[in-house]
Amino acid sequence: MFREVRKRASKVGQPPGTATFTGLKKSFVPRMTMVTYSEQQYHVATGTTLEECTSGKISNGLTWINIQGLQNVGLIQQLAALYKIHPLTIEDILNVQQRPKVEEFENYEFITLKIFLWQPKKLRFAAEQLSILLGKDFVISFQESDTPIFKNINERLCSESTQRLRQQGSDYLAYRLIDTVVDYYFLVLEGLGNQIDKIEEKIISDPAPQNTRTIYRLKRQMLFLRKSIWPMREVISHLLQGEEKLISAFTRLYMRDLYDHVVQAIDTIETFRDMLSNLLDVYLSSLTNRMNEVMKTLTIIATIFIPMTFLASLYGMNFKYMPELSWHYGYYIVLGIMLALAVGMLIYFWRKKWI
């Protein structure tokens, strides 16, 4: 919960713009993919250094560079020098606890947001940061891991020249990257929604202490989702502004649709949060009702045995002169009275709808 605070505390004393990676060290080697394309041409190169990817690129066209893994700070600094990226932007790219935001610079727009990937076996989601630099003729994306989330976009770029991606500018490519991330939000929400439905059935049928742990875990996940997705509305709204020079009128229409998707995701999160709060109330009510049923059962049993206990204690006294002690069938008569009292009280309770 306080990971972000701890990571920021580790940078105390460093000057602004210091390139320090604050994420977890990954086991894979960071890789760069450079795609250059126009409506007629397409070229892709993959490697671990800038020199491996720049050979053979198209001179007149758009460039999309996708960095997977942020451990290689030197590679990112080379890109910064090549595309004149501000040191504060590099610092924000390497600080993976950023709040989703958009910032304007002289020759590019800096956008940062969160990627959420649903893990069906673990029944939870993984989160990582995505940073996007949008320029007039380039898009640079920085992924925290090697997740192939943009595989379909690359396949569409290389498929045929009639693809809208090949015909539009860099702003449309940036839109498609953000739209892909937002689509994955709904996969995560669907998985969490299924969990909420299952825990609701368990609480209604058989409330157990482990249900509360599941509810609190889901509430923490919803809190993290809300913190990461709510600012996305501000990001898309900023990109929709008319004075935004890098976003064309054509792409702005699609951005408007993307804004609706983000609002829908936010509404779903708020609905799930309310459902989890109500589930916690239902669990406590079910627990109280269950305890009341147990107490009612014990009270009925105790009430039935009160007159029996009275009769047993009365004739269990050691007085010498008790007339009923000399009755030949006294024992059976007392047992019959006890049985009649028990049956009579059960009938009374049943008519009162207490049982």
Instruction: Check: CB of residue 209 under 8 Å from CB of residue 202.
Output: no
**Is 50 exceeded by the pLDDT of residue 2?**
no
Q: What angle do CA 222, 229, 175 make, to 5 degrees?
A: 145
Please state, in angstroms and rounded to a whole number, the distance separating the CA atoms of residues 45 and 10: 36
Q: Kindly indicate the confidence band of residue 242, based on its pLDDT and cuts at 50, 70 and 90.
A: low
Mean pLDDT over 58-73 rounds to: 88
For residue 350, count CB atoms less than 10 angstroms from its CB and return exposed for 0-12, middle for 13-18, buried for 19 or more: exposed
Is 6's pLDDT higher than 50? no
Q: What is the largest CA-CA distance in the chain?
A: 122
- What is the phi-psi region of residue 353: left when phi exceeds 0, alpha when psi lies from -120 to 50, beta otherwise? left
Contact 86, 62 (CB under 8 A): no
Q: Is the pLDDT of residue 41 over 90?
A: no
204 or 260, higher pLDDT: 260
- Is residue 146 within 8 A of residue 133, CB to CB? The reply is no
pTM for the model stands at 0.80
Residue 15 has pLDDT above 80, yes or no: no
Residue 114 bridge partners (DSSP): 129
Query: β-strand 138-143 against 62-68: which pairing, if any?
Result: parallel
From 304, 288, 290, 306, select the one nearest 349 (Cα to Cα). 304
